Amino acid sequence: MYAQPISWSLAIDFRIVRVKLLAAAGIVALCAWSACGSGKSTAAAEPRAARPVPVLPATVVRRDVPVYLEGIGNVVAYKTVTVRSLVDGRLVQVLFSEGQAVRKGEVLAQIDPRPFQVQLHQAEGALARDRAQLENANLVVKRDKELVGKKLIAQQQLDSDQAIAGQTDGAVRIDQAAIESARLNLDYARITSPVDGVTGVRLVDPGNVVHAADPGGIVVVTQLDPVAVIFNLPQDELPRISDQMAHGKLAVEVYGRDGATALGKGELELIDNQINQATSTLRLKAIVPNPERHLWPNQFVKARLLLTTRKGALVVPASTLQRGPDGTFVYVIGTDQTVTVRPVEAVSPAGDLAVVDKGLSEGEMVVADGQNQLRPGSKVSVRESGAQGGGRGGGAGKPSGADKPGGGKGRGEKQ
């Protein structure tokens, strides 16, 4: 009567013990698997930590580096002349085409010359009359002197005839001036170009009466070869510019708005005699030959003033410079392919190069790309310049980057 309940209880207890044993075995197996996996992960992490970082190197080289100051400005015609009529008259001919290149002295327009020819003839007739009267007055004075010597006439008569001769001589001189004036008016009737340049839009058509007092003129001629380039630089650069100008002319290179298209080369002509107080800038003027007409008045340009050239400077790509809390530094690649942090003093001229004043030696290898994965003591592997992020390898002696504006700080080297 009591046997059945006792066997049932034993069966339940046996099942509970078996479940606990299975659970314990599973836990042991899970721990063993985790330990094995952790060991594999640790073993895989170790070579990953020791794997070298691919970087693009650059060599510290020594070379001459031009020091530029870069500013923005615009092109101004070297000379701009509004051609006006200097006499009144009817415009009978216009002898130029709009936009035509003209030479100094070339006839641009013709005013009716006939009124001025009439004035010339009148002046020539008056001169002939007064010259005849002058000859007669001189003969009278000559006779009077003989008669006064013989005491046949009074001295007063001689003095009076001499005065008449002097008045007649004055009339002759006036007639000569009238002739010169008439000839000048005839010359002014032929309107010529005062400079070599290019004509603009014609402002007066043939048939109109023009006057010397007309405000508009006939045409505007601008001289485009050479042209002037006006650009601005910070006033703090004045001492360096003045010192270099004392040793001779400074070269100026002119580029388009993109900062890469070369448009011309010239020389610095002057520094303006006042500093702009609103912007604290200097205004400078350069004269640039323009035979190909690449520069045009009011064109926006970038100008680069060659201040000086640093001889034998240590140069690296500007991308090698890194900034940290303690200043500028670079990663130097050692002979064991590990990198160390080296503080440097460097300045950035125009272009992709940086001049190192202190901290590096010629021939050392520095990291030009890939610094974001580096730590002091990291192992590195040198990749070719054609790899991703390359193009800077092979040394810092490539001149192409320094010959284009727009790189670096754009204002040239700061000394």
**Which CATH code of 1.10.10.10, 2.40.30.30, 1.10.287.470, 3.40.50.1100 fits the domain covering 85-210?**
1.10.287.470
Over the stretch 28-50, which tens digit does the pLDDT of each residue have? 555 555 544 444 444 444 454 56
Looking at residue 276, its pLDDT comes to 87
Are the C-beta atoms of 230 and 284 separated by less than 8 Å?
yes
For the question of whether the overall pTM of this predicted structure is more than 0.95, the answer is no
Mean pLDDT, rounded, of the chain: 81
Nearest to 379 by CA among 58, 53, 55: 53
Nearest to 65 by CA among 409, 393, 356: 356
Give me the mean pLDDT over the 233-255 stretch: 90
Over the stretch 177-205, which tens digit does the pLDDT of each residue have? 999 999 999 999 999 999 999 999 999 99
Over the stretch 153-185, which tens digit does the pLDDT of each residue have? 888 888 898 899 999 999 999 999 999 999 999
Give me the mean pLDDT over the 341-356 stretch: 78
User: What is the crossing angle of helices 114-149 and 155-189, to 10°?
Assistant: 160
Start-end of H helices in 202-331:
238-245
Are the C-beta atoms of 252 and 265 separated by less than 8 Å?
yes
Looking at residue 411, its pLDDT comes to 40
Over the stretch 88-113, which tens digit does the pLDDT of each residue have? 999 999 999 998 999 999 999 999 99
Over the stretch 138-155, which tens digit does the pLDDT of each residue have? 998 888 888 888 888 888
Looking at residue 260, its pLDDT comes to 85
Is the domain spanning 61-75+224-403 CATH 2.60.120.10? The answer is: no
Largest CA distance in the chain: 203
Nearest to 258 by CA among 391, 407, 401: 407
Looking at residue 402, its pLDDT comes to 40
CA distance 27 to 30: 5
| Exposure string for 30-63, b = 16+ CB within 10 A, e = fewer | eeeeeeeeeeeeeeeeeeeeeeebbbbbbbbbeb
**Main-chain dihedrals φ then ψ at residue 413, nearest 5 degrees:** -70, 135
Give residue limits of the domains in the chain: 61-75+224-403, 85-210
